[in-house]
Amino acid sequence: MAVEATTGPEPLVARRSFRSFMSEVFGPLLQVLAFVIGSATILGLLVVLVAAALRGTRTDIDLLQGTISILPQVIVDGLVRGFLYATIALGYTMVYGVLEFINFAHGEIFMVGAFAGAFFSAALAASGMLDGLGPVLFVLAAVLLGMAVSGLLAMSIERVAYRPLRNAPRLVPLISAIGVSLVLQDVMRMIAVNSGLGFNASFKTPDLGAPIVLGQMQIAADRTIPISIDSRSLIFIIVAIMMVTGLNYLVNITKLGTAIRAVAQDRPTASLMGIDVDRVIAITFLIGGALGGAAGVLFGMRVGTVNPYIGFLPGLKAFTAAVLGGIGNITGAMVGGIVLGFLEAFVASYLSLFTRGQFSGPSYADIVAFSILILILIFRPSGLLGEVVTQKV
Amino acid sequence: MTADNRQAGQFTSLWAQLRATAGRGPAPYVLTLAYATIVSALLLLNPTTGLGTDMVVVLFLLLMFVIYRAPTMLAFKLTLGTILLGVIMPVFGVLNPFYIDVVTKAGMFASLALGLNVVVGFAGLLDLGYVAFFAVGAYLWGIFSTPQISNIVPGMVPLNGSWFWLFLAIGLAVGALFGVLLGLPVLRLRGDYLAIVTLGLGEVIRVLATNLDRPVNITNGAQGIKDVGRPPLFVEPLFKALGLNISVIQEYQLYFYFLVLLILALTVLVVYRLNNSRIGRAWTAIREDETAAIAMGVPLVRMKLLAFAVGASFAGTMGVIFSALQTFINPPTFDLLRSIGILSMVILGGMGSIPGTMLGAVIVTLLDLQLLPRIASELSILQRRGVPIPSWFDPAQYQRLLFGLLLVIMMIFRPEGLLPEDRRRQELHQDDLPAPAAEQEQPAPAAEAKPEPGS
C-alpha cells in the first residue's frame, strides 16, 4: 500500500532546482536566524535602557556596567534555551500537525533520552573508555543512542496508548497521554534508582575542552572582560542546528516528508491517495521522539545531572513555544522556541539584578513563560507564524 | 463458537436470575442488613490496625454503594446510611484513630472530586490546575489564622478559631472569584488548549506560593505555614455527656469527620440539583457540542465561567478545611500530582456521574493512603522472613505509576468510568452498537428492568 515502496526509483515530481532545494532546506533556518538576532537586539537594548533608567537608584554597584558585562553570557544562555525548546517543540508541533492532539508525554520522552545518554556515559565510565573516546565520537554516539531510544519509545507509546483512541472524543487521548507521562516518570525512576545510577544521575562526559573565547569587551577604561562560550553550549547549538536542518530536508524534500504534510493537511484524502496513514503517524512520532531524545541528551550533557522529573517543565515550555510559533507549523516551533528561550534567559538573569534580589529570577521566568502562553492564546491564537484556522463544526 | 455463546448466555441468565431473586421482595433488605451487620461487627470487634481491618474498611465503604444501588425504599437507605456513617464509623474511629483520618480524607477528596466533576464531567472542560483553588483556600485560612497576617497587614493579630466558620464561606467566595479571574482569559480556548493552560496556571500558583516570601513574607515560601488555627471544639460538652473520655486529638478527628460528612452531603445536594437544572442542561449542551449549544442560545462563556466558579468554590472551601485539619501547609502539597489524583478519581468513577465520582474518590484515596502503604509494609515483613521479593519494590512509592496506569487503562478500556452516567455511556459506545459488545450489554438492562416494579 505504501506509495514509497512501490514507485521505485522513478521520481513522480520533476527534479527540483538547486535554488529551490536550498531555499526549502535553509530558508526556515534564515528565518530562525532573523528571530535570533531580532530577539537578542531588542531584549539587549531593553535591559540596557532599564539599567540606565535605574542607574541612580543603586549606589552599591554600577548597574549599567553590571548589565552589560553579563549580556554576552545571557545571550548564549538564551540561544541554548531557545534551541532546547525548539527541538522539543518540534515533536509537539509535528504530532499536533498530523493528529491535532497534544502529546502530553513528550516531555517525558525528552527525559528518557537524557537518561539514555546518562546510562551510556555511566557504562563508558565504568569500563574506563570514557576518555578514550574522543569528544566528537562521544557526543555523536550519545545523541544517536538517545534519538534511537526516545524515537522508538514514542512510536510504541503511540501504538499502545493513542492509536486505540484515535476516533474517541478529544479529551480521551489527552487524558491517556497524561497517564503515560506519569507512568514513564515512575518507571524511569524505578530503573534509575535500582540500577545504581541514582535518582539524580550524573551525566559524565569526557573533557570537552575549555570555553572558547570569542573576543574581548571593553566595559570601562581600565577593564575588559572576555566574551566566551563554553564548549557544551556550543555543542548544543551546533547539534541542534544540524538536526533542524536535517528535519527541514526530511519534511520539505523527501517523499516521506510529502506524505507527512499530506496527512497533516487532510488525513482521509491522504489515505485515498495511497498513503499508509498509520505508518506516517508512527514515523511522525518516531521523528518527534528522536528530536526530543537528542535534546534530552544534549541537555543532560550541559547540565551534568538528570532526574526522572526533568521532563515536565521543559515539556510544558516547549509546548508554549510551539503555540507561540503557531502549532502545527515546523518553522514556527523553532521561532517560538528561540523567542521564548531568549525571554526566559533575560528574565532569569536580570529580574534579580533589577529588583535587588527581591524576586528570584529563575522562578519568575517560569511564570513569564506561562503568561506568554496565555497572552498568545488570547490575542493571537494562531501564533507568530501560524495561519488563522476556524474550528470545524 | 456457538457453544461458547450459549455458555456465555447461560452465565448471563444465571447472573440475571441471581440478581432478580436478590432484588425482589424482602431479599434486598435482608441481604443489605446482613452485610451491614457483619461488616460493622467485624469493625467494632477487631479495631486493630492491619491488613485485615483495611479490607473490612474497604468493604464498609463499598457498603455505602451497595446501599445506594440496592432496590430498597429510600427511607431504609437513608436510615441505614445514617446509622452506619453517623454511629458505627465514629465509634470505630474512637477505637482506632488511624482509620477515621483516612475516611475523613476520603470524604474530603470526594467533595473535591465532585467539584472537579462539575468542571470536567458536566461542562466538559478539562481542568488540570484544579488544585490551585484548593491551595488558595488553604493559604487563605493559613495566612489569616497565623502570625503570617501580621507581615502583610502590620498590627493585625491572627484571627482566632471561631472565625473558621466565616472563612468556610469566604473560602467559597474567594475560590469562585479566582475561578472567574483565571477562567475569563482562558475559557474561550478549545478543550485541549484549556487543559494545558490550566495546568500552567496551577504551576504558577504553586511557584507563587513558593516565592512569595519576598519582598513581603506572605506565604512563608518553601517552609510552609505551620500551626494553622483550628475551630473551637464547641462539641466537647456533648462528647463528655456521651461518656466519651478521649483526647483532644481524637475529639478533633471526630469533629472534622462530621464536618466533612456534612460538607460532602451539602456538596452532593448542590451538585445534584445543579445538574438537573437549566444550568446543568446548558453544561451538557456545551459538553456535547459547543457550536450547537451556541446556536440554541446557550450563553457559552457565561456558562463555562459558572462551571469553573462552582468547581473552584468547592475547592476553596475544602482548602480552608484542609489547612485546619492538617494545621500545616506547604507548596508541594499543591503540586500537579494532586490535581491529577483528583482527576483520576473523577475518571475512574465516571465523568459526570455523582455516585461514580464519589466511588472513584473513595477507591483512589484508600489505595493511596491506606492500601499501598499497607501492602508495602506487609511485603517488607515477608522480605525479612526471607521471601524473595526484590527490595526495590515498594508500592507506596509509586503513586504516579498508579494514577498513570489508572488513567491510561480507563481511557482505553472503559472511558465512561465504573459507574457511568447514562448519556455518556451511550455516547462513548455508540460506535460498537452493531458489534458483539452490544449483545453482551443488552441483557443487563432487561434484567434490571425486572426488579424495578417491586421497588
SS (H, E, C) chain A: CCHHHHHCCCCCCCCCCHHHHHHHHHHHHHHHHHHHHHHHHHHHHHHHHHHHHHHHHCCCCCHHHHHHHHHHHHHHHHHHHHHHHHHHHHHHHHHHHHHCCCCCCHHHHHHHHHHHHHHHHHHHHHCCCCCCCCHHHHHHHHHHHHHHHHHHHHHHHHHHHHHHHCCCCCHHHHHHHHHHHHHHHHHHHHHHHHCCCCCCEECCCCCCCCCEEEEEEEEECCEEEEEEECHHHHHHHHHHHHHHHHHHHHHHCCHHHHHHHHHHHCHHHHHHCCCCHHHHHHHHHHHHHHHHHHHHHHHHHHHCEECCCCCHHHHHHHHHHHHHHCCCCHHHHHHHHHHHHHHHHHHHHHHHHHCCCCCCHHHHHHHHHHHHHHHHHHHCCCCCCCCCCCCCC
Identify the bridge partners of residue A213 per DSSP, sorted by sequence position.
A228
* Subunit contact B204:A320, Cβ cutoff 8 A: no
All residues of chain A having their beta carbon less than 8 Å from the beta carbon of residue B191 are 170-171, 174
pLDDT recorded at residue B450: 39
- Domain count within chain A: 1
B residues 281..340 contacting A (CB < 8 A): 291, 336-337, 340
- Strands annotated E in B105-240: 225-226
DSSP label at B28? Answer: H
Phi and psi of B36, rounded to 5°?
Answer: -60, -45
Are A128 and A314 a contacting pair, CB within 8 Å?
Answer: no
Q: Tell me whether B413 touches chain A (CB under 8 Å).
A: no
- B231 or A57, greater pLDDT: B231
Measuring CA to CA, which residue among A247, A80, A237 is closest to residue A147? A247
Are B275 and B354 a contacting pair, CB within 8 Å?
Answer: yes
- A52 or B114, greater pLDDT: B114
pLDDT band of residue A1 (cuts 50, 70, 90) is: very low
Residue B215: asked if its preceding bond is cis (omega within 30°), the reply is yes
Q: Where are the domains of chain B?
A: 98-420
**Which one of B189, B207, B411 has the shortest CB-CB distance to A366?**
B207
> Exposure pattern of B217-230 as b/e (b: 16+ CB <10 Å)?
ebbbbeebbeebbb
Any domain includes A187: yes
All residues of chain B having their beta carbon less than 8 Å from the beta carbon of residue A178 are 128, 340, 343, 404, 407
**What is d(CA A380, CA A345) in angstroms, rounded to the nearest whole number?**
23
All residues of chain A having their beta carbon less than 8 Å from the beta carbon of residue B428 are 168-169
Exposed / middle / buried, residue B449 (Cβ in 10 Å: 0-12, 13-18, 19+): exposed
pLDDT recorded at residue A295: 92
* Subunit contact B412:A161, Cβ cutoff 8 A: yes
> Exposure pattern of A11-25 as b/e (b: 16+ CB <10 Å)?
eeeeeeeeeeeeebb
Are A55 and A65 a contacting pair, CB within 8 Å?
Answer: no
ipTM: 0.80
Are A301 and A139 a contacting pair, CB within 8 Å?
Answer: yes
Q: How far is CA B440 from the centre of its chain?
A: 31
Sites in chain B below the pLDDT cut of 50: 1, 433-455
Q: Is the confidence at residue A392, as pLDDT, over 70?
A: no
Are A109 and A154 a contacting pair, CB within 8 Å?
Answer: yes
Q: Spell out the residues 6+ positions from residue B79 whose beta carbon is closer than 8 angstroms to its own.
A: none
Measuring CA to CA, which residue among B214, B225, B207, B209 is closest to residue B149? B225
| Average confidence (pLDDT) over A230-239 | 87
Are B262 and B104 a contacting pair, CB within 8 Å?
Answer: no
* Subunit contact B404:A165, Cβ cutoff 8 A: no
**Which one of A164, A168, A174 has the shortest CB-CB distance to B195?**
A174
**CA of A9 to nearest chain B CA: how many angstroms apart?**
41
A-interface mutation test, from B392, B411, B423, most A Cβ less than 10 A away: B411
| Average confidence (pLDDT) over A253-270 | 90
| Highest mean pLDDT pick, A53-67, A226-240, A265-279 | A265-279
* Subunit contact B411:A320, Cβ cutoff 8 A: no
Identify the bridge partners of residue A305 per DSSP, sorted by sequence position.
A202
Exposed / middle / buried, residue A82 (Cβ in 10 Å: 0-12, 13-18, 19+): buried
**What is d(CA A209, CA A203) in angstroms, rounded to the nearest whole number?**
16
Q: Tell me whether B193 touches chain A (CB under 8 Å).
A: yes
All residues of chain B having their beta carbon less than 8 Å from the beta carbon of residue A161 are 408, 411-412
**Which one of A161, A172, A374 has the shortest CB-CB distance to B185?**
A374
Q: Tell me whether B20 touches chain A (CB under 8 Å).
A: no
Q: B58 vs A92, A128, B85, B405, CA distance in Å? A: 42, 54, 14, 21
Any domain includes A213: yes
For the stretch A79-96, pLDDT in tens is: 989 999 999 998 888 888
Exposed / middle / buried, residue B344 (Cβ in 10 Å: 0-12, 13-18, 19+): buried
pLDDT recorded at residue A13: 55
- Report the number of secondary-structure helices (H) and strands (E) in chain B: 22, 2
- Chain mean pLDDT for chain A: 84
| Average confidence (pLDDT) over A277-304 | 92
All residues of chain A having their beta carbon less than 8 Å from the beta carbon of residue B186 are 374, 377-378
* Subunit contact B211:A364, Cβ cutoff 8 A: yes
All residues of chain A having their beta carbon less than 8 Å from the beta carbon of residue B204 are 366-367, 370-371
Whichever domain contains A364, its CATH number is 1.10.3470
**Which one of A312, A367, A377 has the shortest CB-CB distance to B193?**
A377
DSSP label at B123? Answer: S
The letter for the amino acid at A390 is T
The letter for the amino acid at A118 is A
**What is d(CA B414, CA B360) in angstroms, rounded to the nearest whole number?**
14
Measuring CA to CA, which residue among B78, B118, B68 is closest to residue B276? B118
Are A240 and A87 a contacting pair, CB within 8 Å?
Answer: yes
Any domain includes A4: no
**CA of B61 to nearest chain A CA: how many angstroms apart?**
27
**CA of B151 to nearest chain A CA: how many angstroms apart?**
16
Between chain A and chain B, the number of residue pairs with CB atoms below 8 A apart is 135
Identify the bridge partners of residue A216 per DSSP, sorted by sequence position.
A226
**What is d(CA B191, CA A95) in angstroms, rounded to the nearest whole number?**
17
For the stretch A99-146, pLDDT in tens is: 888 888 999 999 999 999 999 988 888 887 777 777 888 889 999 999
**Which one of B190, B291, B404 has the shortest CB-CB distance to A183?**
B404
Any domain includes A17: no
Any domain includes A186: yes
SS3 B225: strand
- Per the structure block, which three cell numbers stand in for B188? 474561550
Q: Tell me whether B126 touches chain A (CB under 8 Å).
A: yes
Q: Tell me which H or E stretch contains B329.
A: strand B328-329
pLDDT recorded at residue A148: 96
Q: Spell out the residues 6+ positions from residue B363 whose beta carbon is closer than 8 angstroms to its own.
A: B345, B348, B349
pLDDT recorded at residue B306: 92
**What is d(CA B338, CA B344) in angstroms, rounded to the nearest whole number?**
10
